[in-house]
Amino acid sequence: MRDVANFLSRFVSPDDWIVLGASAAVIVLMVAVAAALGFRGAEKLDEARLATLAAAEGALIEGALVSAHGDAGLARLAGGRLLAARVMADGVSARAARPSRLRVKGKRVSIAFDDVGFPPLRFKFKQDAPSWLIEMARG
């Protein structure tokens, strides 16, 4: 044990240990405050929230699908557009456009847009894929 202390003393002075200890204490305090406030966002998606997002785009929903966990959703809009929404922290990010890639496999869906700012969306849903989604995936 003494060899380890001698080895570490070559790189870290006693004053540095005080600073390191204080920094660790502050990090523990920040994690405790975050845990008290809650790490998870309370936002959940449902069909009503998708309808609200579609209305903000000036469109009506023809069909909707929400993930099993309520953290992502798709809505078919008029004109062949698709509204993809995902929960991010305590808000929702959504895109309404024609997808560049849409794949449906069983109860899983993967969708990508040409927008680099909206990463591909992959999620699993409870029910079988609706016919409108399978038709859109076939192109």
Q: How far apart are CA 81 and CA 59, in angstroms?
A: 9
Q: What is the mean pLDDT of residues 126-137?
A: 82
Are 65 and 83 contacting, i.e. CB atoms less than 8 angstroms apart?
no
Q: What is the mean pLDDT of residues 49-64?
A: 87
pLDDT tens for each residue of 59-116:
888 888 888 888 888 888 887 788 888 888 778 888 888 788 888 888 888 888 887 7
How far apart, in Å, do the first and last CA atoms of the chain sit? 67
Confidence of residue 40 (pLDDT cuts 50, 70, 90): low
Torsion of CA 14, 17, 22, 28, to 10 degrees: -160
Coil, helix or strand at residue 117: coil
